[in-house]
Amino acid sequence: MTLEQADKLQAWAERIPGVRAVKVRERLCTVTIHYRCERAELVRQLSAFSYEEQPAPVHSSRAMNRAYKEKLVFQVLRHAFSRLFLPPLLRGAVNTCMAVPRLAKALRVLLGRHLTTDVLDGVAIGASLVTGDMPTAGSVRFLLKVGETLDEWTHKKSVEDLARSMSLQVDEVWKLAENGKPVLTPLEQVRTGDAIVIHTGHVIPLDGILQQGDVMLNQASLTGESVPVAKRPGNAVYAGSVVEEGNCVLMVTNAAGDNKYDRIVRMIEESERLKSNTEARATHLADRLVPWCLGGSVLTYALSRNVTRAVSVLMVDFSCALKLSMPLSVLSAMREASRNHITVKGGKFLEAVSQSETVIFDKTGTLTHACPTVTQIVPFNGENPTEMLRIAACLEEHFPHSVANAVVRCAQERGIDHREMHSKVEYVVAHGIATKINGQRAVIGSRHFVFEDEQVKIRPEDEAAFAALSTDCSWLYLAIGGVLSAAVGISDPLRPEAQEMVAQLHQAGIPRAMMLTGDSRSVAAAIAAQLGIDEYHAEVLPEDKARFIREEKESDRTVMMIGDGINDAPALSLADVGIAIGSGATIAREVADITIAADDLRELVYLKRLSDRLMERIQRNYRFVMGFNGSLIVLGALGILPPATSALLHNTSTVLLSMNCLTDLMDEAETV
């Protein structure tokens, strides 16, 4: 099986409903599948698989994994061959020659007036060579090389896994045909020079030049700044940006589709802001301990006049284990989360989840299903309910929100043709939609928007029917010409696991659960009571959500915010850790620090437990490194451990600790 065939098979098998994990071994031509679906159906689909019909994944780490495996095998074989078959004199010459690059690197660092682990490694190997202890010099060099290879491999693999999970998930775009009409087109069929249309709330999938439309772009995924920037015709725009306001047409300048992926890789590799505070402290501590290790070796020689004891102390340092184990633990946890459909953009966000004291939920699309349904249409002002639904669907079809989708879907199910009849549509975030129909201003949206902002009136003869509207559902209000014309009832059923999720988050150590919603107080109160929410605020605006989060942070509480809509983006940016629902608005996913698939809200509980266990592992590793290596230094200084044994124990413990950091934090039974 070729590498490309293995990638095709794995990518195809992972898309089968019910399949949780797939492992393809191209050398053995075997595939292992962990699944939760019917075995007969799975076998049937596997029997129909064909390599020729499957596209090759754009990015794959399979070739890289094979290269690093072969590199490790050859390192072990070379070391074993040298120890078993080369005579001592020749082995000494080989060790000396192989040590020259590391000694030269240590000298360059020292001449640059820095004290790092490179200096310690160089001095340790050099001291062994000077004292004639060739086995120790060879073992130290071999273990250091294996540790560096494992670190490099794991880091690159983790970065690529994260980049793939964070890359754009856009399959189709609206491409302008020759007649000027937009046509839904697969992304891979778009070529350089094509014109594509991007609507409000959608991600820009390809680099291009803006041709039509003034827009406000959120470039948080590229720059880290959530403040939108204005773009006008002639400006360059880049894949990964999200249109917050306006619609636009852009000419594609790069249709390769790799731009976003490459930028994410660089962001993960270079951005210090993604490191957790614990990880950063461990790295800084490792650097500060290097002079102390050198000083301890000098002091041991000064007191004992024994070169062997001094070299034994030199063979042990804290830096390797600290610098390897902490980042590997974080990257491994991020990769483990990704396998469970949770995308984490940096280690510091896992730390923030572990430390969270307040969790804030948006309601619609988060605590409720992302597909609410229209339950009733109440006409006013003598209007026809079918005509009112047609107008509502005509307005709502422009905006990707769960409530808007419910209205459009209801019209489609009833066979109502809702072709456009209005002028330019104006979207007021978290309020509603405004336009003109037959010269009259038409608005649809929340109670606050329609009756307070727009000053819509209710006819006296309609007041009784209006007062009788049920409080068991949310209402969209449609007004034409300043008079209430219809109320659209939206059933917003709770997710069945929501109550259990809130209770488990409380049990996991988060004391406060808060819900912020634009719905009425009666609806919010009923839901909060049903779910066990500690505090709720109804009829809130996006700026209100941000204000509540700011107040919580000013009270020295770490805040975790979960939302899914365009109006949640400011709050997600402001929270210590913003979590977006995968089925929500693109801008929410781009701005958020973590994205969950939300097939089951208990993924949040899994994320909290994963974060807690990560912090426990980091603290446990820290205590082990300080205790074990400190003991080796003391035993070496007392002459109990010879240099070779100190080096072997230190480097072996570092490699084993690093390998342990790659193991899963959560059991299979604990996954959602």
Q: 570, 598, 626 — which closes off a domain? A: 598
Confirm if 197 and 174 have CB atoms less than 8 A apart: yes
Q: Are residues 387 and 472 in the same domain?
A: yes
Beta-carbon contacts of 628 under 8 Å, excluding residues fewer than 6 positions away, are 653
pLDDT number for residue 265? 53
Q: How far is CA 239 from the centre of its chain?
A: 17
> Phi/psi zone of residue 655: left (φ > 0), alpha (ψ -120 to 50 degrees), beta?
alpha
> Is the confidence at residue 612, as pLDDT, over 70?
yes
| Alpha-carbon distance values, 238 to 192, 206, 223 (Å) | 14, 6, 11
Q: Are residues 177 and 159 in the same domain?
A: no
In this prediction the pTM is: 0.62
> Is the confidence at residue 272, as pLDDT, over 50?
no
Closest CA to 268 of 362, 331, 358: 331
Mean pLDDT over residues 41-46, rounded?
90
- Containing structural domain, residue 302: 66-163+271-330+611-670
Determine the longest span between alpha carbons in the chain, in angstroms: 107
Q: 491, 516, 538 — which closes off a domain? A: 491
Residue carrying structure tokens 């009784």:
464
Q: 572, 598, 624 — which closes off a domain? A: 598
> Is the confidence at residue 602, as pLDDT, over 80?
yes
Q: How many residues in the chain?
A: 672
> Is the confidence at residue 519, as pLDDT, over 80?
no
- d(C-alpha 68, C-alpha 226), whole Å: 38
pLDDT single digits (tens) 184-207: 887 767 888 889 999 887 878 888
Exposure on the CB side of residue 487, measured as CA atoms within 13 A: 21
pLDDT number for residue 583? 67
> Is the confidence at residue 25, as pLDDT, over 60?
yes
| Alpha-carbon distance values, 538 to 366, 401, 516, 525 (Å) | 15, 19, 6, 8
Q: Are residues 71 and 213 in the same domain?
A: no
pLDDT number for residue 61? 77
pLDDT single digits (tens) 529-561: 889 999 998 888 777 888 888 888 888 899 999
Split into its structural domains, the chain has a count of 5
Q: Are residues 91 and 221 in the same domain?
A: no
Closest CA to 72 of 184, 166, 147, 159: 147
Q: How far is CA 222 from the centre of its chain?
A: 14
Arithmetic mean of pLDDT over the chain: 80
What are φ and ψ of residue 606, in 5° steps? Answer: -60, -45
Q: Are residues 280 and 142 in the same domain?
A: yes
Q: Could you tell me the two tokens for 562?
A: 């979960």
Give the pLDDT band (50/70/90) at residue 168: low
Q: Are residues 155 and 291 in the same domain?
A: yes
3-state per-residue secondary structure call for 102-115: HHHHHHHHHHCCCC
Least confident range of 244-258, 382-396, 467-481, 504-518: 244-258
Q: Could you tell me the two tokens for 422?
A: 């209005």
The H or E element containing residue 34 is strand 30-35
pLDDT single digits (tens) 277-328: 666 666 666 667 777 777 887 888 788 777 767 777 766 666 667 767 777 7
> Is the confidence at residue 488, as pLDDT, over 80?
yes
Give the pLDDT band (50/70/90) at residue 459: very high
pLDDT number for residue 226? 47
